[in-house]
A = this chain, B = another copy of it.
Amino acid sequence: MPEDHSEIGAAFLLTQLGTHAATRFAERVSALGLTPPQTGMLRMIGGTPGLSQQALAQALGMAPSKIVAFVDELEARGLVRRSRSVRDRRVHELTLTDQGQELMGRIRELAAEHEADFCQPLDADEREQLAGLLRRIAEHHGLAPGVHPGYRSLR
């Protein structure tokens, strides 16, 4: 095993740090009684009000049948509302309730704290430098802004 990180490449460090960042974020949102997928779902619905469960499934890479249970839960907690579309009565349009919007605000606060804590060893310039490099890689690989691919199956 390597004695320090100096011989380890950027891609491996990224996997390692990415997992770590995800775990820390999960800890934070668990204080709100949420899991990261639920958080992502709320963010997605907040950003695209009225989207269907199919569209949500597509966007998050989850099976539609799995969406059902998630939305059930969020609806039961008064965070999300299902309403039948008037155009196509098969689809359920999803929106955040007022309570859901409010919670979304708190999630944003947590995310900012998370961001600050995680990048603590870097100064402002360096953070922007890092974010810039990462953005270029993300765009190069065609990753959708704001959605990460971790909600599907991954071994």
Contacts and interface: CB of A to CB of B under 8 A. Distances in A.
| Copies of the chain in the assembly | 2
SS class, residues of chain A in contact with chain B: helix
A34 to B, nearest CB: 11
Contacts of A111: 9, 11-12
A88 interface: no
Contacts of A26: 154-155
A140 interface: yes
Contacts of A19: 18, 22, 148-150, 154
A143 B16 contact: yes
Contact of A154 (B22, B115, B136, B147): B22
B136 A133 contact: no
Interface of A: 1-6, 8-23, 25-26, 35-37, 43-44, 47-48, 111-112, 114-115, 118-122, 126-127, 129-131, 133-141, 143, 145-150, 154-155
11 contacts: A1-B147, A2-B47, A14-B21, A15-B22, A16-B18, A16-B143, A16-B147, A16-B150, A19-B22, A26-B154, A122-B136
Contacts of A143: 16-17, 20
Given A1-B147, A18-B19, A129 B135 contact: no
Interchain residue pairs A-B with the least CB separation, the first 5? A18-B18, A16-B148, A1-B47, A13-B134, A19-B150
